[in-house]
């Protein structure tokens, strides 16, 4: 199965009047919201999403079956060739061993071919040594006979096993089973939720990849603690009846506890109050409207709309400078982004400009090996990071690289000399590659909560930040820091990490994040 291109996810807006077709896998169309048909509409939508999920599940199975069938003939041929070679080797080795153990018989090739049987020698002189024929064999002759017997037994067993394995593989390739191989994920509640999230974004069932389902499940698990606390309390508040001012105050307290921040919380509460002045919100409508507010904030950081997709530009040098404090996960993030870019078909290079931390260059080289991306580094110790960046840009320009990822040393935001050095690195990039598309990303540890905001403010001045990468959402992070970053700093979230594996970082989607945060 080909690798999924995370930098080029396709979304198609389906017309409202289109009916879902399980064969084509069209996304379920929104139903009428008339009060009289509310219950029936919700049931119909649930059935549509279930049919869509089953269609996506079957498409994943079909692709896996096609991949398995395309590799089976090669495997059978290879195994058959290996079995024949092994049988021949066993026969040759047995003949050689027999000849070596009986040197008296290896007189001439003609004698080997014309010798009749072991009984020929006794027939020539049957009466010469009758006592010797009746005597027991010496120990070395007994050992040789036992060895030959074991060798013949091993040859017979090997031939039987090879024939059985070849017959089994031939049968499977000739008549494959009717049922497709099971995907790595079962058709459970997590799969259905992930499918509903993808369908709601206009995806078709035949477009869904198993990697997307796996990632959405992992993201939901990472935000599980926050979601359980936040959603349960929200439902308790809105379940009391139509949303009123007292309920809004309780929601404000919940948002502050989730690290949303004062400014972002004030904006959310202001919009909720404006809505209440216009109409009374039932419970489900209140949560749906809250999701809409959060998505709007994430898609418009600082009140300015940004593109929902974030990807390197093809056939152009893109330079992404990764910054952040010690331990935020910069080097790990670079390795994961390099892995995504490599799978998406970009010519990628890594510049190891973290020359202070012990074994930092070795660490980024390990991640380069994992993602199959070359690393440009200076073998010396305590070298100038700006010099490494200069060499990396030169190499990228000479090789036609499309994405250059630059690792920098971790530094505290209150160390002025280190922040000045980061500003120097940025000046080198601007001067050496004036035509390149430059992005400066801050890697932010989600577990820091509001403490990460001060870091972002100082780094934004030195490195001219253009985006944020949120990491470690699988730990004790509350998730609300994403809203605080976009509201107070006006920086978009570009990537989000929810694990330590190489597949545990993906481009940020506001819709998926909010659904994972607020969907029960």
pLDDT for 341: 94
Torsion sign across C-alpha atoms 379, 383, 389, 394: negative
Highest mean pLDDT among 133-147, 287-301, 451-465: 287-301
Tell me: is residue 25 an annotated ligand-binding position: no
Give the tokens for residue 372. 């199959």
Counting every residue, how long is the chain?
A: 520
Q: Phi and psi at residue 96, in whole multiples of 5°?
A: -65, -40
Give the C-alpha separation, 131 to 127, whole Å. 9
Cβ(288)–Cβ(519) below 8 Å: no
Integer angstrom CA distances of residue 345 from 1, 5, 231, 312, 505: 15, 8, 39, 11, 17
How far from 363 is each of 334, 336, 359, 487, CA to CA, in Å?
11, 13, 6, 34
Question: Annotation-wise, does 296 bind a ligand?
Answer: no
In the predicted structure, residue 99 carries a pLDDT above the cut 80: no
- Per the annotation, does 99 bind a ligand? no
Rounded to whole angstroms, the Cα distance separating 66 from 1 reads: 8
377, two tokens = 């580094």
Question: 37 labelled as ligand-binding?
Answer: no
Report the SS3 class of residue 35: helix
Q: What is the DSSP letter of 359?
A: T
Q: Which of 18-22, 34-38, 91-95, 434-438 has the highest mean pLDDT?
A: 434-438
Q: How far apart are CA 67 and CA 186, in angstroms?
A: 19
pLDDT digits (tens, 9 = 90+) for 442-451: 998 888 777 7
Q: Reduced to 3 states, what is the DSSP secondary structure of residue 440?
A: strand
Q: Which of 109-118, 216-225, 457-466 has the lowest mean pLDDT?
A: 109-118
Radius of gyration of the chain (CA): 34
pLDDT recorded at residue 23 = 45
* Cβ pair 469, 442 in contact under 8 A: yes
Q: Is 330 annotated as a binding residue?
A: yes
Q: pLDDT class for 476, splitting at 50, 70, 90?
A: low
Total Cβ atoms within 10 A of residue 456: 21
Return the C-alpha torsion angle 229, 230, 231, 234, nearest 10.
120
Cα three-residue angle 297-301-302, rounded to 5 degrees? 110
- What the block records as the tokens of 503 is 């597949």
Lowest mean pLDDT among 180-194, 238-252, 341-355, 500-514: 180-194
Q: Which class is 318-509 in CATH?
A: alpha beta
Is 411 within any annotated ligand binding site?
Answer: yes
239 annotated binding-site participant: no
Residue 36 pLDDT: 44
In terms of Cα–Cα distance, which of 345, 403, 410 is closest to 374? 403
Q: Are 211 and 183 in contact (CB under 8 A)?
A: no
Question: What integer best gives the mean pLDDT of the chain?
Answer: 76
DSSP 8-class letter at 381? S
Mapping DSSP to helix (H, G, I), strand (E, B) and coil, where does residue 445 land? strand
And the tokens for 453? 């905001």
State how far the Cα of 275 lies from the Cα of 293, in Å rounded to an integer: 11
3-state DSSP assignment of residue 15: coil
β-strands 437-445, 403-408 pairing: unpaired
pLDDT, residue 316, reads 93
Using alpha carbons, list the distances in angstroms from residue 359 to 206, 227, 242, 362: 45, 38, 58, 5
Q: Are 90 and 161 in contact (CB under 8 A)?
A: no
Q: Assess whether pLDDT exceeds 80 at residue 270.
A: yes
Supply the DSSP string of 271-328, one letter for each residue: HHHHHHHH-PPPHHHHHHHHHHHHHHHHHSGGG----S---PPTTS-EEEEEE-STTS
Query: What per-residue confidence (pLDDT) applies to 7?
Result: 81
Considering only 169-183, 263-277, 280-294, 453-467, which range has the smallest mean pLDDT?
Answer: 169-183
Residue 156 or 430, more confident:
430
Q: pLDDT over 70 for what percent of the chain?
A: 72
Report how far residue 350's alpha carbon sits from residue 406's, in angstroms, rounded to the nearest whole number.
Answer: 6
The highest-confidence range among 18-22, 111-115, 144-148, 331-335, by mean pLDDT, is 331-335
pTM attached to this predicted model: 0.72
Find out whether 328 is annotated in a ligand binding site: yes
pLDDT at 281: 77
Neighbours of 319 (CB within 10 A): 25
Q: Which helix (H) or strand (E) holds 405?
A: strand 403-408
DSSP symbol at 17: T
Going from the C-alpha of 520 to that of each of 28, 165, 234, 238, the distances in angstroms are 20, 49, 11, 14
Tell me the percentage of the chain whose pLDDT exceeds 90.
22
Is 408 annotated as ligand-binding? yes
The residue ranges of every structural domain in the chain are 318-509
- N-terminal to C-terminal alpha carbon distance within the chain: 33
Evaluate if residue 237 carries a pLDDT over 70.
Answer: yes
Is 471 within any annotated ligand binding site?
Answer: yes
What integer pLDDT is reported at residue 319 of this predicted model?
A: 96
Q: Is the pLDDT of residue 180 over 70?
A: no
Higher pLDDT, 245 or 96: 245
Segment holding 406, helix H or strand E = strand 403-408
Q: Does residue 326 have a known ligand-binding role?
A: yes
Question: Is the confidence at residue 351, as pLDDT, over 90?
Answer: yes
pLDDT for position 312: 93
Whose CA is closest to 440, among 489, 365, 494?
494
pLDDT of residue 113: 40
350 CB-near residues (< 8 Å, 6+ apart): 334, 338, 364, 367, 368, 373, 374, 375, 376, 392, 404, 405, 406, 407
**Average pLDDT for residues 499-507, to the nearest whole number?**
89
pLDDT of residue 296 exceeding 90, the answer is: yes
Tens digits of per-residue pLDDT, 196-207? 898 888 888 888
Please give the backbone phi and psi of residue 503, each rounded to the nearest 5 degrees, phi first: -95, 10
């Amino acid at each position: 199965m080909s690798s999924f291109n995370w930098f080029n996810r396709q979304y198609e807006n389906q017309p409202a009047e289109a009916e879902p077709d399980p064969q084509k896998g069209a996304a379920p169309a929104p139903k009428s919201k008339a009060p009289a048909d509310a219950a029936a509409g919700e049931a119909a939508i649930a059935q549509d999403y279930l049919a869509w999920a089953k269609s996506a599940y079957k498409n994943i199975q079909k692709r896996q079956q096609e991949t398995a069938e395309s590799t089976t003939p090669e495997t059978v041929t290879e195994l058959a060739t290996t079995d024949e070679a092994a049988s021949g080797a066993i026969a040759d080795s047995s003949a050689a061993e027999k000849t070596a153990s009986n040197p008296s018989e290896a007189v001439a090739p003609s004698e080997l071919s014309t010798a009749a049987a072991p009984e020929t020698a006794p027939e020539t002189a049957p009466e010469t040594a009758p006592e010797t024929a009746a005597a027991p064999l010496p120990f070395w002759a007994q050992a040789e006979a036992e060895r030959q017997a074991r060798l013949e037994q091993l040859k017979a067993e090997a031939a039987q096993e090879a024939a059985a394995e070849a017959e089994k593989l031939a049968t499977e390739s000739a008549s494959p089973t009717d049922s497709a191989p099971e995907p790595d994920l079962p058709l459970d509640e997590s799969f259905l939720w992930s499918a509903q999230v993808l369908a709601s974004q206009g995806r078709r069932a035949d477009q869904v990849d198993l990697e997307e389902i796996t990632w959405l499940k992992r993201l939901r698990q990472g935000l599980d603690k926050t979601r359980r606390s936040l959603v349960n309390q929200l439902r308790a508040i809105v379940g009391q009846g139509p949303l009123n001012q007292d309920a809004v105050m309780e929601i404000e307290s919940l948002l502050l506890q989730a690290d949303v921040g004062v400014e972002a919380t004030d904006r959310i509460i202001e919009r909720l109050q404006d809505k209440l002045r216009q109409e009374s919100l039932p419970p489900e409508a209140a949560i749906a409207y809250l999701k809409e507010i959060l998505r709007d904030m994430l898609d418009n950081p600082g009140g300015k709309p940004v593109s929902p997709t974030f990807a390197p530009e093809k056939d152009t040098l893109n330079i992404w400078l990764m910054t952040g404090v010690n331990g935020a996960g910069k080097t790990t993030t670079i390795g994961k982004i390099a892995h995504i870019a490599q799978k998406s078909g970009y010519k990628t290079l890594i510049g190891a400009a973290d020359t202070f931390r012990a074994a930092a260059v070795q660490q980024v080289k390990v991640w380069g090996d994992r993602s199959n991306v070359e690393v440009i580094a200076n073998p010396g110790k305590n070298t100038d990071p700006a010099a490494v960046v200069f060499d990396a840009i030169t190499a990228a320009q000479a090789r036609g690289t499309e994405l250059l990822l630059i690792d920098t040393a971790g530094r505290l935001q209150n160390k002025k000399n280190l922040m000045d050095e980061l500003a120097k690195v940025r000046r080198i990039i601007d001067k050496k590659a004036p035509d390149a598309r430059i992005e400066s990303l801050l890697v932010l540890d989600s577990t820091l909560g509001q403490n990460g905001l001060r870091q972002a403010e100082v780094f934004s001045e030195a490195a001219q930040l253009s985006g944020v990468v949120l990491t470690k959402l699988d730990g004790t992070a509350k998730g609300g820091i994403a809203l605080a970053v976009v509201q107070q700093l006006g920086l978009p979230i570009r990537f989000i990490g929810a694990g330590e594996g190489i597949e545990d970082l993906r481009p940020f989607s506001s819709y998926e994040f909010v659904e994972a945060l607020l969907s029960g």
